[in-house]
Structures are given as C-alpha cells and as structure tokens.
Amino acid sequence: MSEEAKEGSGPEVKPEEAPVPGAPASSEPHRAPGRRASLLPAGGSYAAPNELRKIILMALGALALVAFMFQMEWNRRRMAKDVEKSNEEWKRKQEAVKATPPGTGQVEPGAEVLWDNMLAGERDDAPLDDLQSDKGYKYLIRHLANLKPGEGLGHSIPFDYAELLKNPNKWRGKVVSLSGLTNKIQSNIRLESNQGHYDAVYRLYLVDLSGTEGFILDVLDRPDGVERRDPVEAEGIFLRTHKYLTEKGQEVRVPVFVARSVREVSRGTVHRTWSTEMTVGVVTVSVMLVLVITIAGISGRKKPKTSQSP
C-alpha cells in the first residue's frame, strides 16, 4: 500500500476503545480525562444516615436522664441541708425564748441614745396591762401621732429574732422592718390620754410565714380591710419583750413593737423565687428541642437526583 493511502486512513483506533456493536450505551456520564468523579451528590448536600440520627437521639436521651438524676440528687441534698438549718434555727429561737432578760432597759456603754433615753426604764417580759401608762410607750405614741402625712420613721433595718430576745437592750428603740400573717386583732385599746385625734390603738398579733416567730404590734391607724391570716408589713419601733402562757400552758416570749400603721400585702405579690434548677431545666429542654427539630429537618430533606447523560 502506498504512503498516501496510509495517511488518508485516519487515526488508528485502539481495540479497547472501539465500541462493541449491539452493546447498550453506558449510563455513566462522560468525564473528561484525568478528572475523578465526585463522591457527593450534585449540589454538595449530604443527608444524615438513619444510624447517625439514632445515635444522636440516644445520646440526647442519655444526657437528659443523667441531668434529671443529678437534679434529683442535688434537690435531696439541699433539702436535707435546709431541714438541718431549720432545726438549728428552731433550737436557737427556743433558747432565746427561754432566756432570762438581762435587766431593765439600760443603755449599754458606747451605745447610741435613742428617743431622748425615754426607754431606759423599760422592763422586759412585763405584762401588757400597764403598757398604756408606761412613759416610754406614751413617748413613742406621741411621736407617732405627730408625724406629718408622708413622714416616716427613717431607715428601717431587718432584725434577728433570736438575737433580739436574748439582747433586748441592744435593739430597744430601733426601727425595724416587720412582716407576717395576722393572727389576731384587738381593737380600741384606750390610751391614757388623747394624742391629737387618736384616743386608742389597735393591737395586732402577728406570726411569720414559718410559724416560729411571733410578735405584737400596736398601731394608731385603723387597719381597715385587714383580717385574720392576711399578710401585712410595717416599720415598727421595738419597745420591750412580753412573756405569757399559751392555752397549752407553754411559756412564750415575744417582742412588742409600736407603729403608725400597717400595710396589707397583696397575696399576688407574695415573693416567689424562680429557682436555679428551674432555669437550668428550661434551658436544657429548649436546647434538646432545638437539636431534635434540627435533626428531624435534616433527615426530612430529599436526596437530590443525580443528572444522567442522555
């Protein structure tokens, strides 16, 4: 064969590249030489397999169970500590109730002289029968009656119940913050002499929410609307302690205060604390719900169809 015939015959076809007559066309898309096929579907998205979703959900469930058990154990230990603390406080108050007062209301050396030292002669644990004729009581009532509208007693401080009963001289004449439930109201206790337009006081027997602290409060303004078991608050001046026998024959000591008025506390505004464990629980549940919804959304996506060559 001549050289011209060889040149006109075209490029030589290798045997492995020649198509087989009658064979179906390959469904694999044509790829350029030297380029590897992508392992991900078109679009680059990837659907989480069922096994992975199950592992994640089981892990979340296990974490929730561990958190719940930890919370229960923490609550149990905290409750035990609260009970122990409450018992210790109860014993301390009982010791204070049984304690003997140190004597008449003499001002301690270096202590601040209050109310022109008119409370120096107060007798602790004395009965209430002579209260209206007591000079210190009358002095405080006169001061309260002369208060102008909107005028208060100044800054009030919280007080330690057991400490006050043990050391009444230290607290005598101080203005303290009071709050409790009304147990009994005694009306129209006549004053020895009129103080302005006041001729009587109202005596409230109060008890704190724990039921372990009781005190007596004399007020000038009528406590309108206040009934038994109603919560009230006031700023009162500590006068002295009072000892009496209960119906069961138990000896009890309580502090006696005087105030201009009491304020009824709405039951809707009683302090309610949002505990730390409630916050942690809400946050944990919210995070778990977000994760579950996210995983469910991923698993619900349809896999994109791969394009096929014609």
Under a CB-based contact definition with an 8 Å cutoff, are residues 217 and 180 in contact?
no
> Would you state the structure tokens that stand for residue 260, as one six-digit string?
């201009």
- For 154-211, how does the pLDDT look when each residue is reduced to its tens digit (9 = 90+)? 889 998 998 999 889 999 999 999 999 999 999 989 999 999 899 999 999 999 887 7
Predicted model pTM: 0.59
At 276 the pLDDT is 55
Beta strands in the chain (DSSP E): 175-195, 198-207, 214-219, 231-245, 251-259, 263-264
Q: Is the CATH number 3.30.460.10 carried by domain 102-267?
A: no
At 83 the pLDDT is 66
Residue 163 is given by DSSP the state: H
Q: Which residues of the chain carry a pLDDT beneath 50?
A: 1-2, 4-6, 34-40, 44-47, 269-274
> Closest by alpha carbon to 293, among 283, 285, 302?
285
At 258 the pLDDT is 97
Per-domain boundaries in the chain: 49-98, 102-267
Residue 256: Cβ-neighbour burial (10 angstroms; 0-12, 13-18, 19+):
buried
Q: How far is CA 131 from CA 92, 192, 200, 218, in A?
A: 28, 10, 12, 11
At 203 the pLDDT is 96
Concatenate the DSSP letters of all residues of 166-218 into one string: H-HHHHTT-EEEEEEEEEEEEEEEEEEEEETTEEEEEEEEEE-TTSS-EEEEE
- For 83-99, how does the pLDDT look when each residue is reduced to its tens digit (9 = 90+)? 666 666 656 666 666 66
Q: How far apart are CA 208 and CA 18, in angstroms?
A: 101
At 105 the pLDDT is 53
> Closest by alpha carbon to 265, among 186, 209, 218, 187?
209
